[in-house]
Amino acid sequence: MRKICVSLFLLGTAVAFSYCGSSKKSAASSPVAPVKSKVNYEANVLSIIQTNCTPCHFPDKGGNKKALDSYSSVKANVDEIIRRIELAPTERGFMPNRKPKLSDTAINVIKQWKADGLVDK
């Protein structure tokens, strides 16, 4: 009888310990969301500005409009840029002037850059 009680106790202990585990195991098995990097000027916005705002807003390329040739000038004018690129091509003030409307993706990159805090690099 004593052997049976000890055996049951050991069996119960083994079962109890089998359910005890490290939280690392469960954390490792759960899916991890990818880290979304912030949109930054140098990697994401600069190419959009250079492609769509040249030569008018780049004085060294013959432009005579408000300069958008540096991070600080684009940052200072981001609200106006967003407002004007969202206009319909037939509306007064539409940008880029004499060019097709920017894609929704390009517009969203600039808007996300603003939402991410206007990160430079």
Residue 83 confidence (pLDDT): 97
Task: Indicate the angle between helix axes 104-115 and 46-53, nearest 10 degrees.
Answer: 130
Give just the sign of the alpha carbon dihedral 13, 15, 20, 22.
positive
pLDDT tens digit at each of 121 positions of the chain: 777 766 666 666 666 666 666 555 544 454 565 657 899 999 999 999 999 998 889 888 777 789 999 999 999 999 999 999 999 999 999 999 889 999 999 999 999 999 999 999 8
Q: What is the pTM of this model?
A: 0.68
Please count the other Cβ atoms lying within 10 Å of the Cβ belonging to residue 87.
13
Give the phi and the psi of residue 40 in degrees, each rounded to 5.
-125, 160
How far apart, in Å, do the first and last CA atoms of the chain sit?
75
Q: How long, in residues, is the chain?
A: 121
In terms of DSSP H, where are the helices of the chain? 2-19, 23-29, 46-53, 71-76, 78-85, 104-115
Cα–Cα distance for residue pair 103/34, rounded to 1 Å: 26
Q: What is the pLDDT of residue 10?
A: 64
Q: What is the pLDDT of residue 7?
A: 67
Residue 35: predicted pLDDT? 58
Give the pLDDT of residue 22: 57
Show me where the domains of the chain are located: 41-115
Matching residue, tokens 């705002």: 53
